Amino acid sequence: MNMNVSFGGLSLKNPVMTASGTFGFGLEFAPYGDLTKLGGIVVKGMSLKPREGNPMPRIAETPCGMLNAIGIQNPGVENFIRQALPVLPWKEVAVVANLYACDAEEFGELADILAGEEGIAALEVNVSCPNVKEGGIAFGQDPKQICKVTEAVKKKAGNKPVMVKLSPNVTDITICARAAAEGGADSLSLINTLSGMAVDIHNRKPRIANVIAGLSGPAIKPVALRCVHQVVQAVDIPVVGIGGIASAEDALEFILVGAHAVQVGTANFLRPDFSFDLVDELEKLLEEIGAGSLEEFRGSLELPL
């Protein structure tokens, strides 16, 4: 079956992407599979300057999920371009840069730097990281800010497609989706982590040093699916589904509600070859269920009248 997908200025050999923050710069997973087999790799969120991230502990396991508050620890955009990008097989797999900044101007600067990089297929804008006290949360929850940041990135992105990653921690995600579309986003990816918390009754302390953390994993899949469903109905730009995908069936559920592609996040921790295997399993399952093509299946959810 033809697994190619083209949407929002991106052309992928299959709809399986890896989600930012769960796949490093991709190279960490090279021993476990062929990176060029993937549809796309969204690399770890990067900022203008290197960031040390949050104090430890940063992660906690929860039922069918996990909490994290890493705090966008990253070597900065220049080090990424110098060190990681040249060794990534970007000619054969779409490498998507994930941008993190604290104001629209900084987002613009990041886009400006990355726009000139041949190895970058698209820019994903992180307006929704709930882990970082300074910034992220305000953008993700304020439609005006989402629009403004999207415009700022779009203005400097040159010919790079811009994907805006939405937070589910809002009253109505379709308002945020429309704001990003209005700002000129070529596509949307959703959802980022759900805001959560875990505490320890024995030592009476939070299990995560940042106290508030982002919940991910299969536990959030129903929320993610609902968000993708609503956003697909609300905007005309393509949507990439993210949230708890841990099997080919999960991935197809997002495509059934209308996603053009999916991003695998926490499941990369189940085993490091998970995403590579998913590429094969997705095609197999599509054939098994008798879908004519990926395109025919996409968005073919039959809703009650």
Partner 1 sequence: MSLRNCRNVKVLEVSPVGQLKRPDEFFEIKLEYPDWDGWKPGQFVMIRPAGWELDLLWARPFSICSADGDTLTLFVQKVGRGTGRIVALKPGDTVSIWGPLGNSFAMEPEIPTLLLAGGIGIAPFCGYVEQHPHPENLRLFLAHRLSLDCYPFAALSERVEGVCMRDDQPEDLQKIIAVMKEQIVEYAAKDGLILSCGPTPFMKTVQRFAAECGVRAQVSLENRMACGVGACLGCVTKDGSGHHVQVCTRGPVFWADKVEL
Nearer CB in complex with partner 1: 89/272: 272
Total residues binding partner 1 (CB under 8 A): 36
Nearer CB in complex with partner 1: 39/218: 218
Nearer CB in complex with partner 1: 269/297: 269
Please report how close the Cβ of residue 271 comes to partner 1 at its closest, in angstroms. Answer: 5
Please report how close the Cβ of residue 116 comes to partner 1 at its closest, in angstroms. Answer: 27
Nearer CB in complex with partner 1: 136/143: 136
Contact flags string 240-279 toward partner 1, x per CB under 8 A: ------x-------------------x-xxxxxx------
Q: Minimal CA–CA distance to 23: which of 265, 280, 278?
A: 265
Please report how close the Cβ of residue 73 comes to partner 1 at its closest, in angstroms. Answer: 5
Among the residue ranges 17-25, 175-183, 232-240, 287-295, the one whose residues contact partner 1 (CB under 8 A): 17-25
128 binds partner 1 (CB under 8 A): no
Among the residue ranges 49-57, 112-120, 171-179, 294-302, the one whose residues contact partner 1 (CB under 8 A): 49-57
Q: Is 129 a known active-site residue?
A: yes
